[in-house]
Structure 1
Amino acid sequence: MTAALPDTQQGMRRRNLSRVMHTVAAHGPLSRAGVAARIGLTRAAVSTLVDELIRAGLLDELGPQRPGRVGRPGSALAVSPEGPAGLGAEIGVHHLAVCAIDLSGAVRVRELRPVDNRDRAPEPVLAELGALVEEVTRRARGLGLRPAGLALAVPGLVAREQPLVVRAPNLGWVDADLAPLLPRGLPVTVDNEANFGALAQLWTQEESAEDFIHVSAAVGIGAAVVLDGRLLRGTHGFAGELGHVPVRPEGPACPCGGRGCLEQYAGQEAVWRAAGLPPGTGGIGLLVDRAESGDKAVLKALRGAGSALGIALSGAVNLLDPHGVVLGGALSPLAPWLLPPLRRELTRRTATASRPVSVSALGREGPLLGAAHSVVRAVLDDPVAVSVAG
């Protein structure tokens, strides 16, 4: 979806440039005639727009399309593999990650650093992340890419349109103002990791519906709601805090201050604890191996986690009536054991027909990719602004 621009001749031109960029990025390589057919403009009008985008270094001509068509073959257009790029970054409880993607959405550079960020102050975490951003930027520039912005995913409540982490229980952060700590020289946005995970699902998965609840499950459990192709943010930007919905009000204490929250039954460490394993032992792969071998303690823990997810989700499904539910995040490899009890609870507790529950192909990569794609989509939404800035 393109950004709103003034209803003037210049605004119309910028909207049409955006439509061309989005069309080629999503469906290219395409000829000028192919673009014109998809967006409903004349070929002459599209050619003028395409020429401007080529001069700006945003589109490339690849040469004649494959033979066999009637008439003169058109020159195929594709988004440039060089030029503007989106930087995505993620602060996880147990890792830091940064990637750069080009305008086609291809990941060109990626860095992952395992590190325990629990109870670390924001300053050293952002300093370490900044070093990763510099490294990815350096490598991206070596590929001819020019970072157009940076988007950062964090596992906590982020104030709407502000780089303020109001609360991140699994990091131990409260009212952490990240503005003074973020890299300089680039437009920077900060958002909840579950929001970016849902946007990645919406933007990159062709089979994705326009209405769904996306669950991002790892140490913490977040969720994001997409309705009519738009992210539901809420008044303060805090919509989707599924992990702190109480599933058993008298249950164990949660770092958020509540009791019996979903994270205490379905979070990554809660599953290990219920299975009788030290937290983090062997990673998710160990749980998968033990579940496949029929380990009774692990299977019981996964059934409990799936049931807790279903209980929490049933309220959201009854309230919002989405098309379906998508499970993403680090726990997605455990879907074969989580989904049956989750689906049973949804069927028992929802007022209408049960919704499809699927697993995101993006897994734990969703938040990082969603962050990077948010920068690229800003370029596609207003390519004039980017070409002028460049």
Structure 2
Amino acid sequence: MTARIQAASTAPVRQSSVRAHNLALALQTVATSENPISRAFVAAATGLTRATVSALVDDLISGGLLVEGDPVTRTGAGRPAAGLTLAPDGAFGLGLEINVDYLAACVVDLTGAVRFRVVSPSDPRQLGSWATTLARLTRGIPSVAGAALAVPGLVSADGIVRVAPNLGWQDVDAASILGETLGMPVAVDNEANLAALSELRAAGGRPTFAYISGEIGIGAGLVLEGALYRGVRGWSGEIGHLPVHPDGRACRCGARGCLEQYAGQEAILRTAGVTTLADLPDRADLSEAGTALGIALAGVVNLLDLDTIVLGGIYGPLLPRLRPGIEQELRRRVLTASLAPIALRASVLGADAAMRGAAESVIRAILEDPASFLGGR
């Protein structure tokens, strides 16, 4: 056993692996800086030699990931050095979202700025090909480095949607279907997970919170100490199917009394007697939805000891009317409610969080492994 351990620990590191690591280190140093920085600053921050940094930066510039601009401000003697920043036109990430009553797409650049956005009200269950429709929505957009799809369901690591009750999907190979249509690899993830990661980046605040995505279905993205909690199989966050009334209304998932049947979009509209959110009266009674959300969220808080809950999707603009019911149940049911208050706030990104998160996941992959991006060009 000892010999095997020593052999593994002294195994040579491939030169390509060292270069890939150093490329990522240099690129991320620039990406996380609030202002343009010099090559010398990158060398000092990373511990790499100036010669090594110069070669890495040259590769990143020629690959379209960095640009050198105006000289950075300096206080000492000598000629000012050119400032390095992410190339705003260097690489684009395509984010796509499929939901029960709409399809959406957006493109973000390396800096996270949105370059393209479109939302198309439609029912994917009635479309001949949802993938073709998404491809049509994205015609004419800039050349993208990759694509990711946000789906309201359980997604396995290979991009297969194991079950999405509200779409009527089971074992749908969404990654292959959309990848063949777009002509590029497509990553697939749960919409609430992607929205939570985007919210984490946009808000720049607390690193631990539950993001609750309210649409026809209800999902949760759990961010714990700055990292997304996925669970053993990557299927965490299905808060919409927590029972709030165990013997209550039948749910599409086959169970009864699920949160979605009391606080989902269709339940809210049904209770108000309208068919669209645009028709929802300002004085509509949302106490049933707020109470149901409060019951479910109290269980999440008791289990994970959270102090912040972010409401996204339709819940953001409805938060003022949902808040009384939610807070009443949190006070009643959370064991530590009298000791530590729980913050409720609306999503910073609103309804765009999932597709933004999908697009940003493409950019994040480039920043984490620029060598793979440069090697494919």
TM-score norm. by structure 1 comes to 0.85
3-state SS in 2 of match to 1:140: coil
CA deviations over 1:51-97 (Å, ceiling 9, x no partner): 2211222100112135x744443312111122321111000111111
State which of 118, 124, 127 in structure 1 corresponds to 2:129: 124
State which of 287, 309, 319 in structure 1 corresponds to 2:293: 309
Q: Which residue of 2 aligns with 1:144?
A: none
3-state SS in 1 of match to 2:135: helix
Whether the 8 Å CA contact 2:30–2:37 is kept in 1: the answer is no
Q: Post-superposition shift, 1:214?
A: 0.9
Q: Which residue of 1 aligns with 2:158?
A: 162
Judged with a 3 Å threshold, the aligned counterparts in structure 2 of structure 1 residues 40 and 360 are, in CA distance, closer, same or farther, namely: farther
Q: Post-superposition shift, 1:105?
A: 0.9
Whether the 8 Å CA contact 1:28–1:77 is kept in 2: the answer is no
Q: Which residue of 2 aligns with 1:203?
A: 201
Judged with a 3 Å threshold, the aligned counterparts in structure 2 of structure 1 residues 61 and 153 are, in CA distance, closer, same or farther, namely: same
Whether the 8 Å CA contact 1:18–1:380 is kept in 2: the answer is yes
Judged with a 3 Å threshold, the aligned counterparts in structure 2 of structure 1 residues 43 and 307 are, in CA distance, closer, same or farther, namely: farther
In the alignment, residue 132 of structure 2 is paired with which amino acid?
A
Q: Which residue of 1 aligns with 2:332?
A: 348
Whether the 8 Å CA contact 1:86–1:102 is kept in 2: the answer is yes
Q: Which residue of 1 aligns with 2:92?
A: 85
CA deviations over 1:177-207 (Å, ceiling 9, x no partner): 2244213332211111111111111233212
Q: Post-superposition shift, 1:236?
A: 2.5
Q: Post-superposition shift, 1:164?
A: 1.8
Q: Which residue of 1 aligns with 2:20?
A: 14
Judged with a 3 Å threshold, the aligned counterparts in structure 2 of structure 1 residues 307 and 124 are, in CA distance, closer, same or farther, namely: same
Q: Post-superposition shift, 1:104?
A: 0.8
Q: Which residue of 2 aligns with 1:31?
A: 37
3-state SS in 2 of match to 1:246: coil
Whether the 8 Å CA contact 1:197–1:366 is kept in 2: the answer is yes
Distance 1:94 1:226 in 2: 27
Q: Post-superposition shift, 1:41?
A: 4.8
CA deviations over 1:314-354 (Å, ceiling 9, x no partner): 11111122342111112211111222321232232122223
Distance 2:268 2:109 in 1: 37
- Which stretch shifts more, 171-180 or 39-48? 39-48
Q: Post-superposition shift, 1:355?
A: 2.5
Whether the 8 Å CA contact 1:130–1:183 is kept in 2: the answer is no
Whether the 8 Å CA contact 2:20–2:371 is kept in 1: the answer is yes
Whether the 8 Å CA contact 2:302–2:335 is kept in 1: the answer is yes
State which of 182, 186, 189 in structure 2 corresponds to 1:188: 186
State which of 250, 255, 271 in structure 1 corresponds to 2:252: 255
CA deviations over 1:287-321 (Å, ceiling 9, x no partner): 4xx33xxx2xx1x2x22212211110111111122
Judged with a 3 Å threshold, the aligned counterparts in structure 2 of structure 1 residues 183 and 130 are, in CA distance, closer, same or farther, namely: farther
- Which stretch shifts more, 375-384 or 262-271? 262-271
State which of 132, 135, 151 in structure 1 corresponds to 2:148: 151
Q: Which residue of 1 aligns with 2:6?
A: none
Distance 1:7 1:315 in 2: 47
Q: Post-superposition shift, 1:40?
A: 5.2
Q: Which residue of 2 aligns with 1:273?
A: 270
Q: Post-superposition shift, 1:250?
A: 1.6
3-state SS in 2 of match to 1:347: helix
Q: Post-superposition shift, 1:220?
A: 1.1
In the alignment, residue 86 of structure 2 is paired with which amino acid?
V
CA deviations over 1:140-163 (Å, ceiling 9, x no partner): 13xxxxx221100111122x2122
Distance 2:153 2:329 in 1: 27
Judged with a 3 Å threshold, the aligned counterparts in structure 2 of structure 1 residues 37 and 365 are, in CA distance, closer, same or farther, namely: farther
Distance 2:35 2:252 in 1: 50
Name stretches of at least 5 consecutive residues in structure 2 with no aligned partner. Answer: 1-11
State which of 368, 371, 375 in structure 2 corresponds to 1:381: 368
Judged with a 3 Å threshold, the aligned counterparts in structure 2 of structure 1 residues 374 and 58 are, in CA distance, closer, same or farther, namely: same
In the alignment, residue 372 of structure 2 is paired with which amino acid?
A
Q: Which residue of 1 aligns with 2:8?
A: none
Judged with a 3 Å threshold, the aligned counterparts in structure 2 of structure 1 residues 25 and 383 are, in CA distance, closer, same or farther, namely: same
TM-score norm. by structure 2 comes to 0.88
Whether the 8 Å CA contact 1:212–1:227 is kept in 2: the answer is yes
Q: Post-superposition shift, 1:235?
A: 2.4
Distance 2:32 2:157 in 1: 28
Whether the 8 Å CA contact 1:346–1:354 is kept in 2: the answer is no
Whether the 8 Å CA contact 2:202–2:348 is kept in 1: the answer is no
Whether the 8 Å CA contact 1:120–1:172 is kept in 2: the answer is no
CA deviations over 1:31-58 (Å, ceiling 9, x no partner): 2244445545565554343222112221
CA deviations over 1:114-164 (Å, ceiling 9, x no partner): 2122x336x51122112224x1xx3213xxxxx221100111122x21222
